[in-house]
Amino acid sequence: MAKWYLGEGEQSDVVISTRIRLARNLKQYPFPARLDTKSRLAVNEVIRKAVPASAGLRYIEMKTLTQAQIVAFAEKHVISPEFASSADGRALLLSADEELSVMLNEEDHIRLQVMLPGLALEQAYDTADKLDTAINEQVEYAFDERLGYLTQCPTNLGTGMRASVMLHLPALAATNRIGALGSTVSKLGLTIRGAYGEGTAPMGDLYQVSNQVTLGISEKAAMENLKTIVLQIAAQERAARTEMLKTTETQDLVYRAYGILKSARLLDTREFMELISRVRFGAVGGLLPLDAKVPNALMIAMQPANLNARAGKNLSARERDELRAKLVREAL
């Protein structure tokens, strides 16, 4: 079954994907941090049974996966880096297209997540809400009339909803406007950060814009808020791209990136992400005869653990750079 990230959605020149994540906890159990393995497994069973068979989710105990498979899921944003850090008493419910996933015993008992290509907040929320409602018919959530959904971390209290949109911003990044964008969005209760390569410079010009506030605001209002700012950022990015594409310097960078990716024999992650970002920019801008879905898919598939998972073994960095170069040549 085709994975969600091979598809294309609204505003796809700038918006790579949309993610809705709901944090929920069972009323009759303490938060996961205070549960031993046995109790966690009991929680998993309760939730597993509460999920309707019609949802078509596969149940995966995390301890049955290799480290490469786990990190590969994190690279695809199917699971959180926190969830990938330990397998103890944790499980994952996952749809075949990887659009819908439920992390069990992450920070909360339930982290229900829907990912879709392009800008699709309402659609993603509807899917998440439907499954959330179905589960809630079977189990009682920890819920407070005044505070809303109770979560381990107070920053999730209220709706327990985090809506994120992943954006490709090569032109705003090249013109050093991401910093200013950060100040603006934070005033609106949102945050922007690199989607890959936290701690160092963001890789591939991929940025994630998310709502920060979950308390005292409805899901709908939070999403409206996010959607408005995303559309504004996308418009700015488009204007900056149009300016940049006029210059021979930009064309030079785009065509060189394409030329290198089509010919290199060794490609490390950081260089690959830098070049594929330029290629995606050039493809969307009409310079290159390439569907933007190709760089989208490569940005995920060429991550280190995804390559290891594909090879079925832990490759050395050097072997990975060689395999990455080979697969990229074939794809382009």
Which of 137, 265, 286, 316 binds a second copy (CB under 8 A)? It is: 265
For 37, other C-beta atoms within 10 Å of its C-beta total: 12
**Least distance to a second copy from the beta carbon of 265, Å?**
4
**Least distance to a second copy from the beta carbon of 325, Å?**
7
- Residue 262 as a binder of a second copy (CB under 8 A): the answer is yes
Q: What is the pairing mode between strands 161-168 and 15-24?
A: antiparallel
What type of residue is 134?
A
**Least distance to a second copy from the beta carbon of 331, Å?**
15
Residue 153 or 311: which CB sits closer to a second copy? 311
Q: Which residues contact 296 (CB under 8 A, 6 or more apart)?
A: 5, 6, 8, 16, 117, 280
Residue 221 or 323: which CB sits closer to a second copy? 323
**Least distance to a second copy from the beta carbon of 330, Å?**
14
The reply, when asked if residue 18 is annotated as ligand binding, is yes
User: φ and ψ at 89, to 5 degrees?
Assistant: 65, 20
The answer to whether the beta carbons of residues 258 and 288 sit under 8 Å apart is: yes
Strands (E), 28-172: 58-61, 91-94, 100-104, 110-117, 143-144, 148-149, 161-168
- Residue 243 as a binder of a second copy (CB under 8 A): the answer is no
Nearest-Å Rg of the Cα atoms of the chain is 20
- Residue 264 as a binder of a second copy (CB under 8 A): the answer is yes
Residue numbers belonging to the annotated binding site for ATP: 17-21, 77, 111, 162-166, 193-198
Binding residues for a second copy, rule: CB under 8 A, are: 248-249, 251-252, 255-256, 258-266, 322, 325
Q: Which residues are annotated as a binding site?
A: 17-21, 77, 111, 162-166, 193-198
